[in-house]
Amino acid sequence: MILADPRHIFIKMKKVFAVADANHVCSAPKFAFLYLEFYLQKSLNINHYNMILHISGEKTIREIQNEFHASYPFLKLEFFRHSHKAGKPSPKTDMVSPSSSVGVLMNGNKEANFEVNASKTVAALEQEFHEKFGLNVQVFRKSQTLWIETSLTDHWTLGRQNEEGEIFSHPHNTEKLDLGDRDKWE
């Protein structure tokens, strides 16, 4: 069985929803379609999430944050003085300033490349930072204008976290709906 390229199907569906939009119908199915389209596009083009971070004592926290954020624009790394317990957030008072040198926090003066990819879980990333460099990091996900600590979803992959951040960071159509508008029951 040969499957059609899903992008062609989505182009046809977009045309159908454009007509429905003009007639002001189908907002819930359209949202479902847009979510599926977004998910499919990301899954077809997931390679932009793969990266190599070069960790060295001379770098600042901000430099590492910026490199990570370039590949995962809806995630950010924060560095802390102490590790956090699984499923628990890190206290804000433990957060280290982005202008600080990474070398101050590292166990010894290690320098290495660190592979980060979309299939790695948040928990695995945080554990590797701690084991390889003695660095306590926490991943945060963007949600509209807020950054949310991912401690409850550490089992999610970085790719999924970034996708969820993108979904919840884009404003949705909030036009006023007439709540009195109902279908007539016959």
Give a yes or no: residue 63 inside a domain.
yes
Q: Is the pLDDT of residue 66 over 90?
A: yes
Q: Are residues 62 and 147 in the same domain?
A: yes
- Residue 13 tokens read as 């569906």
Q: Are residues 24 and 78 in the same domain?
A: no
**Tens of pLDDT along 96-129?**
999 999 888 886 657 888 899 999 999 999 999 9
Q: Are residues 39 and 52 in the same domain?
A: no
Q: Are residues 55 and 119 in the same domain?
A: yes
Average pLDDT over residues 34-46: 56
Q: Are residues 77 and 134 in the same domain?
A: yes
Q: Is the pLDDT of residue 4 over 50?
A: no
Using a pLDDT cut of 90, give the percent of the chain over it: 26
Instruction: Give residue 177's pLDDT band: very low, low, confident or very high (50, 70, 90).
Output: very low
- Top pLDDT among 134 and 43 is at 134
Average pLDDT over residues 146-175: 82
Average pLDDT over residues 156-175: 79
Look-up: residue for tokens 């954020």? 69
- Closest residue by Cα to residue 155 from 126, 135, 128: 126
Q: Are residues 92 and 141 in the same domain?
A: yes
Q: Are residues 114 and 25 in the same domain?
A: no
Q: Are residues 64 and 153 in the same domain?
A: yes
Computed on alpha carbons and rounded to an integer, the radius of gyration of the chain in Å comes to: 21
Report the pLDDT value the prediction gives residue 67, as an integer from 0 to 100: 92
- CA separation, residue 167 to residues 29, 52, 54, 60 (Å): 16, 25, 29, 30
Burial of 83 from C-beta contacts in 10 A (0-12 / 13-18 / 19+): middle
**Helix or strand or coil: residue 137?**
strand
Domain span holding position 97: 48-169
Q: Are residues 29 and 72 in the same domain?
A: no
Give a yes or no: residue 183 inside a domain.
no
Report the pLDDT value the prediction gives residue 125, as an integer from 0 to 100: 94
Count of domains observed in the chain: 2
Instruction: Give residue 91's pLDDT band: very low, low, confident or very high (50, 70, 90).
Output: confident
- Per-position DSSP letters for 62-107, written without gaps between them: HHHHHHHHHH-TTEEEEEESS---TT-PPPGGGBPPTTSBGGGTSS
Q: Are residues 27 and 108 in the same domain?
A: no
Give a yes or no: residue 179 inside a domain.
no
Q: Are residues 30 and 83 in the same domain?
A: no
